[in-house]
Amino acid sequence: MNATTLLLTATGTLGLAIFGLLAGLWFMGIDRVLAARMQARIGPPIRQPFIDMAKLMVKQNVVPANAIPWLFNGAPLLALASAITILLYIPMAALPGLPVLNLHGDLVLIMYLLLIPGLAMVAGGLSSGSPYATIGAQREMVTMIAYELPLASTIIAFAWKLAQLDVATPFSLASVAATPIWTLVGPVGFMGLLLLLATMILVAPGELGRIPFDAPEAETEIAGGLLVEYSGRNLALFSLSLAVKTIVVTALIVGLFFPWNFTDIVAITCCPFLAAGANILFFLLKLFVVLFFSVTLIRISVARFRITQVVDVYWKVLGALSIVGLILVMVDARI
């Protein structure tokens, strides 16, 4: 890697990290405001997540006496760093140099990178020495295993369809974004994609630890679970990693199912900067829509599931739906 490429990669990484942090906190604020309005409450201001992070950064960082200090303090850093790393592989608005690691990212890599923030939380919870955190860590591991089946089935469906069309890199996110899958299937495949989209919409709250799939934290049962012993800067870092992961998960759904840019719909040839700005705003709008349906609407409509119900939903219901969707996409190619 030459000096110019290294500088561009470093600049892109810094820019995406800032975008992920700011956009993630902003979307979390929007989510809280919308949830409050839907429950006939006033709710906090949109800037409340920024205020919370500022407060946590200056508060005392308490490490339990029976914790493993290096792991307890290192887990939040790992969670945030890994969440930012995933952003480098995900296609976003049609801007030069994005994604930053365009030549190296594929769907399988993203699927496994998504596990790292959760594993960091598990490690942090287990290292705290709290029995509540230990229960939360066990539940987090079970949840992660449960939603892998529908997630993997969706990824296989996309890769299989692109491979069937002789695309050179069927697992590449860039290939998926460049070839909207809705244009490649007939009516049967279209129904299969709808099932896969519904599956991914319901996988998102599990990935983000939101209601109804927040059994690993469950404040009313295990007092916060994984994060019960965290405070100050460490708790802020975990919250920031969740904010970035919110952008990661919603951007992944957008990249898979809604990869179009604004300039693909409305041609803007007069000004490149205007076209880039329109694409960015359109991308943020798509993120907002996905966030609303996959996080806000679901957590307002459904109460928290027990951990056994989480497994049943992901393995029995969503697992079956994703496999049916995969089969329909495959059958569509034979009709």
- Answer yes or no: are the C-beta atoms of 311 and 142 closer than 8 Å: yes
Position 223 scores a pLDDT of: 66
Least confident of 146-150, 175-179, 229-233: 175-179
Task: Say whether 106 sits in a helix, a strand or coil.
Answer: strand
Q: How many domains does the chain have?
A: 1
| pLDDT-derived band at 207, boundaries 50, 70, 90 | confident
Q: Quick one: 280 exposed, middle or buried, by C-beta within 10 A (0-12, 13-18, 19+)?
A: middle
Average pLDDT, the chain: 84
Position 220 scores a pLDDT of: 67
Query: In one letter, which amino acid is 161?
Result: K
Least confident of 247-251, 274-278, 326-330: 274-278
- Answer yes or no: are the C-beta atoms of 256 and 203 closer than 8 Å: no
| pLDDT-derived band at 164, boundaries 50, 70, 90 | confident
Least confident of 199-203, 250-254, 256-260, 306-310: 306-310
Q: Answer whether residue 97 shows pLDDT above 70.
A: no
Gap between the Cα atoms of 92 and 259, Å rounded? 8
Task: Tell me the residue range of the domain where 82 lies.
Answer: 3-334
pLDDT above 90 covers what percent of the chain? Answer: 16
State the angle between helix axes of 232-257 and 69-87 in degrees (0 to 180), rounded to the nearest 10: 30
Tens digits of residue pLDDT in 282-294? 888 999 999 999 8
What tokens appear for 306 in the block?
């027990």
Gap between the Cα atoms of 51 and 171, Å rounded? 40
